[in-house]
A and B are shown apart, each in its own frame.
Chain A
Amino acid sequence: MTSTATPAWLLDSEVGLCPCGCIGTRKKANLVDKTIAGSASLLRRAMFADDTSAQPGLLQRVDPRIKVLSLVGLLVVTSLVHHIPVLLAMYLATLPLAVASRLSLRFFVKRVWLFIPIFTGVIVLPAMFSFITHGHIVVPLGHWFGHRVGLTSQGLRSAGLIVIRVATSISLVVLLTLTTPWVELLAALRALRVPRMFVLVTGMAYRYLFHLLDSVTDMYTARKSRMVGRETDVVAGRAFVGASAGAMFGKAHALSEEVYSAMIARGYNGNARTMNRFRLGVQDLVWVTACLAAAVVVLGWDHAIGR
Chain B
Amino acid sequence: MQSVADPILVVDGVSYSYLDKFPALVDVSLTVRRGEKVALLGANGCGKSTLLKVLDGLVFPDAGSYHAFGTAVTEQHLEDQQFSEGFRSRVGFVFQNSDAQVFSSNVRDEIAFGPLNMAMPLDQVKRRVDDTLEMLDIADIADRAPYQLSGGQKKRVAIASVLVMNPEVLIFDEPTAALDPRTQHWLMELIVELNRAGKTIVLATHDLATLETLADRCAVFSEDHRIIADGTPEDILADRRLLLSVNLIHDDDPMHEHPHMLIP
A-to-B contact residues, CB < 8 Å: 1-2, 47, 50, 182-183, 186, 203-204, 206-208, 210-211, 255, 258-259, 261-269, 271, 273-275, 277
Contact = CB atoms under 8 A, between A and B. Distances in A.
A183 B146 CA distance: 11
B147 A273 contact: no
Interface residues of B, number: 40
B105 A275 contact: no
Contact of B147 (A211, A267, A271): A211
Interface of A is mostly: helix
A187 to B, nearest CB: 9
A102 B129 CA distance: 32
Interface of B is mostly: helix
Contacts of A255: 99-100
B251 A1 contact: yes
Given A258-B100, A265-B56, A269-B117, A203 B105 contact: yes
Contact of A207 (B88, B97, B129, B146): B146
A204 B106 CA distance: 11
A258 B58 CA distance: 10
Given A261-B58, A268-B117, A183 B145 contact: yes
A277 to B, nearest CB: 8
- Report which residue of B92, B106, B165 has the largest number of chain A beta carbons within 10 angstroms of its beta carbon: B106
Contacts of B146: 207
Contacts, number: 90
Nearest to B101: A262
A131 B194 CA distance: 78
7 smallest beta-carbon distances between A and B, as pairs: A267-B117, A258-B100, A266-B114, A273-B116, A210-B147, A267-B88, A183-B105
23 contacts: A183-B106, A186-B105, A203-B104, A207-B104, A207-B105, A207-B146, A210-B147, A258-B95, A258-B100, A261-B95, A266-B92, A266-B114, A266-B117, A267-B84, A267-B89, A268-B113, A269-B81, A269-B117, A273-B117, A274-B109, A275-B112, A275-B116, A275-B129
B101 A275 contact: no
A130 B29 CA distance: 82
B53 A261 contact: yes
- Report which residue of A1, A267, A274 has the largest number of chain B beta carbons within 10 angstroms of its beta carbon: A267
Contact of B58 (A182, A265, A275, A277): A265
A275 B88 contact: no
- Report which residue of B53, B97, B104, B147 has the largest number of chain A beta carbons within 10 angstroms of its beta carbon: B147
B162 interface: yes
A274 B110 CA distance: 10
Contacts of B109: 183, 274-275
Given A207-B146, A265-B58, A1 B252 contact: yes
Interface string B84-108: 1100110011010101110111101
A52 to B, nearest CB: 14
A41 to B, nearest CB: 15
B241 to A, nearest CB: 16
Interface string B139-177: 000010111000000000000011001000000000000
Given A1-B252, A211-B99, A266-B114, 13 more contacts: A50-B145, A203-B105, A261-B53, A262-B101, A263-B103, A263-B113, A264-B58, A267-B88, A267-B165, A268-B113, A269-B81, A274-B116, A275-B109
B125 interface: yes
B148 to A, nearest CB: 8
Contact of A266 (B99, B106, B113): B113
B50 to A, nearest CB: 12
B145 A182 contact: yes
Nearest to B89: A267
A305 B221 CA distance: 82
A166 B126 CA distance: 43
Nearest to B164: A266
A219 to B, nearest CB: 16
A50 B148 CA distance: 11
Contacts of A265: 56, 58, 88, 92-93, 95
B103 A267 contact: no
Contacts of B122: 275, 277
B103 A204 contact: yes
Contacts of A259: 100-101, 103
Nearest to A186: B105
- Report which residue of A182, A207, A266, A268 has the largest number of chain B beta carbons within 10 angstroms of its beta carbon: A266
- Report which residue of B88, B117, B118 has the largest number of chain A beta carbons within 10 angstroms of its beta carbon: B117
Contacts of A263: 103, 113
B114 A262 contact: no
A275 B125 contact: yes
Contacts of A208: 103
